[in-house]
């Protein structure tokens, strides 16, 4: 006996009314069945349509689609279309001249070639001449075979998962984070560097492969959330209070005060360029987003002017201060206004000492990076500011994709 024939199954759907069919034979457990006819039962006149939709078919292979149909004695015509998913796989015109008039039904084959990986099947008839009459549909198919999913973690084989039965699916595992890379899921394409978030299949859920497939672990760059400098070096920072989780914000107002807000390492209004002198005991502060210098007046008020700030630094602790008219003022974030109430950032009469003030590194948007190779170093240089461009070219059994100058291989 032909082994393939053992795997074949047949399902028959017989029309009962304009919105109902009954089934006979074998079909997938969770199948969805929907039938509708714009006229009545299975009768289609010119301009009418009858549609049978089958869903949740489990990536089956459809072997054939047959319809039993008749026509009026002297007229009747229309076009059958068979679609797998959104793709038309067969089309056939029928008319009364090729059919045996009622009461005998004619068996018309609409599809006779295998169509693999079918999740949904739609069979429609659009009438062009009065009238055609559908009695039933007969679909021969074979269930999807068990598929194997190969999981790659960087260049290394992580594991393989094989379905016990066709289209049963496999549950994708979650992987551990590395120091700077956070695991977010799996990709059907492998890539080294992407600056635009790729399509990701989440871990912990069922994945239903339509063929044997390889998936690659996808990681998102995740720098340490709070990196405070211990070695003074000129650069861009947030001036932050770690006890209140706040940072200096914006530029001085007309009243000689500044604002502070909750720390947000991606907020450019919290970025300040700190330019240390060679001795590292003095610095100049500039608001990066507006290129506004941050300084002070002889009245101990904040002002948009270039002023030298003295620096107190001890391991992670960094505080800026000034000596004005023989009094020492520290740059502080939460100064209480005893006259009007509320708090503000500005100069506070106090000596510099151990404090919760820190210089915190920003998290730039250019560092939003995804990779399938967490073993590689983070490539954050030469970030493209132009719109994304992509080119593809054949590369043996693969496809070479060049996106914004970055290359990756796709099956």
- Which pLDDT value is given to residue 104? 74
Contacts of 388 (CB under 8 A, 6+ apart): 195, 196, 403, 404
Same CATH fold assignment for domains 3-142 and 235-360? no
CA distances from 385 to 94, 378, 379, 404, 408 (A): 58, 18, 15, 10, 20
Q: Residue 359 and residue 357: Cα distance in Å, rounded? A: 7
Nearest-Å Rg of the Cα atoms of the chain is 35
Strands 309-314 and 282-287, sheet pairing: antiparallel
CA pair distance 325, 302, nearest whole angstrom: 15
Q: What is the pLDDT of residue 189?
A: 93
Domain boundaries in the chain? 3-142, 148-223+372-410, 235-360
The answer to whether the beta carbons of residues 189 and 181 sit under 8 Å apart is no
Q: Which CATH number fits domain 235-360: 3.30.390.30, 3.40.50.300, 3.30.420.310, 2.80.10.50?
A: 2.80.10.50
Fold observed for domain 3-142: Jelly Rolls (2.60.120)
Write down the pLDDT at residue 365.
65
Q: How confident is the model at residue 380, as a pLDDT?
A: 42
Q: Please report the pLDDT score of residue 2 as a whole number.
A: 31
Question: What pLDDT, on a 0 to 100 scale, did the predictor assign at position 29?
Answer: 78
CA distance 132 to 77: 6
- Per-residue model confidence (pLDDT) at position 338: 80
pLDDT value at residue 366 = 62
CB 237 within 8 A of CB 274: yes
| pLDDT for the residue numbered 93 | 95
Confirm if 252 and 294 have CB atoms less than 8 A apart: yes
Could you read off the pLDDT of 308-319 as tens digits, one per residue? 999 999 999 999
Q: In the chain, which stretches have pLDDT less than 50?
A: 1-6, 379-389, 391, 395, 407-409, 411
Q: What integer pLDDT is reported at residue 387 of this predicted model?
A: 35
């Amino acid at each position: 006996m032909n082994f393939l024939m053992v795997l074949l199954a047949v399902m028959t759907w017989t029309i009962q009314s304009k919105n109902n069919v009954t089934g006979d034979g074998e079909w997938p457990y969770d199948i969805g069945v929907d039938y509708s006819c714009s006229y009545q039962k299975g009768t289609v006149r010119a301009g009418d349509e009858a549609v049978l939709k089958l869903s949740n078919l489990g990536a089956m292979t459809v072997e054939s689609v047959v319809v039993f149909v008749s026509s009026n004695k002297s007229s009747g015509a229309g076009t059958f279309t068979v679609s797998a998913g959104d793709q038309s796989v067969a089309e056939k015109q029928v008319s009364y001249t090729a059919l045996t008039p009622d009461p005998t039904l004619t068996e018309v084959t609409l599809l006779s070639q295998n169509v693999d990986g079918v999740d949904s099947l739609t069979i429609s008839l659009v009438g062009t001449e009065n009238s055609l009459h559908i009695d039933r549909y007969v679909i021969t198919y074979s269930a999807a075979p068990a598929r194997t999913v190969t999981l790659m973690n960087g260049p290394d084989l992580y594991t393989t998962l094989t379905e016990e039965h066709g289209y049963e699916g496999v549950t994708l595992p979650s992987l551990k984070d590395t120091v700077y890379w956070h695991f977010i899921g799996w990709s059907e394409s492998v890539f080294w560097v992407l600056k635009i978030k790729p399509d990701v299949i989440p871990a912990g859920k069922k994945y239903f492969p339509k063929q044997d497939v390889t998936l690659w672990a996808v990681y998102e760059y995740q720098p340490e959330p709070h990196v405070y400098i211990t070695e003074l070096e000129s650069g861009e920072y947030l001036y932050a209070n770690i006890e209140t989780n706040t940072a200096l914000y914006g530029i001085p107002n007309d009243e000689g005060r500044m604002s502070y807000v909750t720390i947000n390492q991606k907020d450019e209004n919290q970025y300040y360029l700190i330019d240390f002198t060679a001795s590292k005991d003095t610095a100049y502060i500039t608001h990066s987003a507006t290129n506004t210098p941050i300084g002070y007046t002889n009245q101990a008020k904040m002002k948009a002017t270039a002023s030298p700030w003295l620096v107190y630094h001890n391991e992670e602790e960094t505080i800026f201060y000034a000596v004005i008219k023989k009094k020492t003022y520290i740059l502080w974030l939460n100064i209480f206004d005893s006259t009007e109430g509320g708090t503000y950032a500005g100069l506070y009469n106090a000596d510099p000492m151990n404090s919760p003030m820190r210089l915190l590194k920003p998290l730039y948007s250019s560092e939003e990076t995804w990779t399938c190779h967490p073993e590689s170093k983070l490539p954050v240089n030469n970030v493209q500011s132009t719109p994304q461009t992509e080119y593809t070219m054949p590369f043996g059994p693969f496809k070479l994709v060049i996106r914004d100058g970055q290359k990756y291989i796709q099956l």
